[in-house]
Amino acid sequence: MMPQSATANILTVLDTDFKGIIEEWLGTQVKEGVKRSDLFSDAESRNQNRELLKAFSKGIREGVAGEDFDLDDDKWDDLRAVLADVSRERVNRGVTPTEMATFVLALKTPLFKRLEALADSDHSMLLRDVMLVTRLVDAFAIYTNEIFINEREQIIDRQRQEMLELSTPVVELWDRVLTLPLIGTLDSARAQEVMENLLQTILERQAEVVIMDITGVGTVDTQVAQHLLRAAAAVRLMGAECIISGISPMIAQTMVQLGIDVGTVSTRSSIRTALSDALLTVGYVIKKTEAQ
Amino acid sequence: MPLPSYAKFDESDLGAQVLLSQHRLKTSGDAVTARQAVARYMKENGASALSVTRFATAVSEIVRNAINHAGGGEFSIYVDRRRKTLTVVCWDNGPGIADVDLALSDGYTSGGGLGRGLGGAKRLAGRFEIRTAVNAGTSVLMSVNL
Amino acid sequence: MAGVTSINLVEHALLVSIQDDITDTEILELQDRLSNKIAQNRIDGVILDISALEIVDTFVGRVIAQLAGISKLLAAETYVVGMRPTVAVTLVELGMYLPEIRTALSLTHALAQLREI
């Protein structure tokens, strides 16, 4: 007997033995070594599997036309939502992408077994069902992986962001005078971050002078010099003055040898002179007290 | 002569993207409307201020080319909610670009012609693709992550 | 002109705030109007407030640079004030450092600098 739709057998299997499938799915995960009992309690795993399978069934029931489906479709909203939650949790607990994919793929075995029993010996029907389940579960797994990796990238991005912020403090030295002590290496990502951070602070504090101190920057090659000059140019565009301080004799020699033209940017060898010049610009002088 | 099919962007380039809006490009006011629409969509979807400015600037450059050098065209904005990207396509029936590499090449020219705008747009956009045929038109596709 | 709210004369300086919806046509008209005004009056400076501008692309950057050139020939300085950080970063990335123009944080700063000249 031919079923009325391509998904009829799969839905029958899911409806008649929903619980059994979940248990066996869990079992397969244990066997494949991807059930992280160190990270999730049994009850938690069972609960996640139940929610996922429920949403998956709903998607199959409503979101498969003929043999075609698209997980981006509205009909699969539920599955995508549950999956997003599950992935987020798993990423945060340190599950690997392989474990995550194997976890989803482990759903095939319990479904195949039941379809086989249902098909009796109608091999062409079984073949058709197995092919459809395979496509569905594969799509499910691929989608899971995408979400999972996306989630991980977001975490990495957030951490990178936090690290960058930590390493580029903008300090208000005096009213309308900012300083940016640069330390370590200045690559493109960091230079960009430094620049954004600096410009935002200029706006907030209405700073008129900015001292970029490069005493702590190990090497100044053409690229680093370019980054510095670009930052200085952006500072000037915003209407503030930029002084680059901490240019050691060695760095000065390198810069000249590299043919780097600092143009109109002011430079000072030490932060000391930069500071007194900056203060002078905003109307202050550093004076020795009489008592000394 | 309309842009030949090989030189236009179609579904295969746009994937699972949904059309958000379409704008006619004829006057310099249309250029403002187009880039402001892009900025609005990006802000609504939580893009950072810098990312909005960069991409809207790139949009401004390419729509101006269509308006000033090609007598106008059409501008469409697409979104891919799953991959969180915004894509724009700017299309015109103008003279086309004979040497794309040259048009994209960088370097300050005080006259600042077409090349500067296009090269700048390429640098500011995450993904930048250009298709063109001489005497038939130009189609530019740009994407940004939201 | 929708894109420009007003041109005001303060202490021999022309103050112009440019709005975000200014078109290419309008900004060229503005350049023209400002050039005429500088020539007609005794003007020391032109202060362009661009704090409302979300973007400054190569065209607008070029027009502003040209305006600075024109004012200089007519013995006036051009100041750009209130540029947003995102706009500054983008312009630098485009290679437009605009060395022709003077910049200041705000209108007040620009006026103070003009008095010193």
Query: Which secondary-structure segment (H or E) carries C45?
Result: strand C45-49
Q: Which chain B positions have a beta carbon within 8 Å of C90's beta carbon?
A: 50, 53-54, 57, 124
pLDDT in tens, B85-122: 999 999 998 888 888 887 787 644 434 444 468 888 99
Q: Which domains does chain A have, with CATH numbers?
A: 8-161 (1.10.490.70), 171-281 (3.30.750.24)
Instruction: Concatenate the DSSP letters of all residues of chain A into one string.
Output: ---SSTTHHHHHHHHHTHHHHHHHHHHHHHHTT---TTTS-HHHHHHHHHHHHHHHHHHHHHHEETTEE-TTSGGGHHHHHHHHHHHHHHHHTT--HHHHHHHHHTTHHHHHHHHHHHHTT-HHHHHHHHHHHHHHHHHHHHHHHHHHHHHHHHHHHHHHHHHHHHH---EEEETTEEEEEEEE---HHHHHHHHHHHHHHHHHHT-SEEEEEEEEES---HHHHHHHHHHHHHHHHTT-EEEEE---HHHHHHHHHTT---TT-EE-SSHHHHHHHHHHHTT------TT-
- On whether the B5-9+24-145 domain is CATH 3.30.565.10, my answer is yes
| Interface mutation vs chain B, best among A72, A145, A198, most B CBs within 10 Å | A72
Statement: residue C3 has pLDDT above 90: no
Annotated domain spans of chain C: 4-116
Please list the pLDDT of chain A residue by residue as tens digits (292 residues): 444 588 889 999 999 999 999 999 888 777 766 666 677 777 888 888 899 999 999 999 998 888 888 888 888 989 988 988 888 888 888 888 888 888 889 999 999 999 999 888 888 889 999 999 999 999 989 888 888 888 888 888 888 777 766 667 899 999 999 999 988 878 887 888 889 989 999 999 999 999 999 988 878 888 888 889 999 999 999 999 999 999 888 888 888 888 777 777 899 999 999 999 999 999 999 888 887 6
DSSP state, residue B27: S
Average pLDDT of the residues in B8-27: 86
Q: Which chain C positions have a beta carbon within 8 Å of B42's beta carbon?
A: none
ipTM: 0.94
- On whether the C4-116 domain is CATH 3.90.1150.10, my answer is no
Q: Provide the pLDDT for residue C4.
A: 56
pLDDT in tens, C36-87: 999 888 899 999 999 999 999 999 999 999 999 999 999 999 999 999 999 9
Bridge partners of residue C10, in order along the sequence: C13
- The Cα–Cα gap between C101 and A257 comes to 30
> In chain B, which among 86-105 make CB contacts under 8 A with chain C?
none
> In chain C, which among 59-88 make CB contacts under 8 A with chain A?
80-85, 87-88
**Amino acid letter for position A180:** L
Label residue B13 exposed, middle or buried (CB < 10 Å: 0-12, 13-18, 19+).
middle
Statement: residue C2 has pLDDT above 90: no
Confidence of residue C11 (pLDDT cuts 50, 70, 90): confident
Q: Which chain B positions have a beta carbon within 8 Å of A73's beta carbon?
A: none
Annotated domain spans of chain B: 5-9+24-145
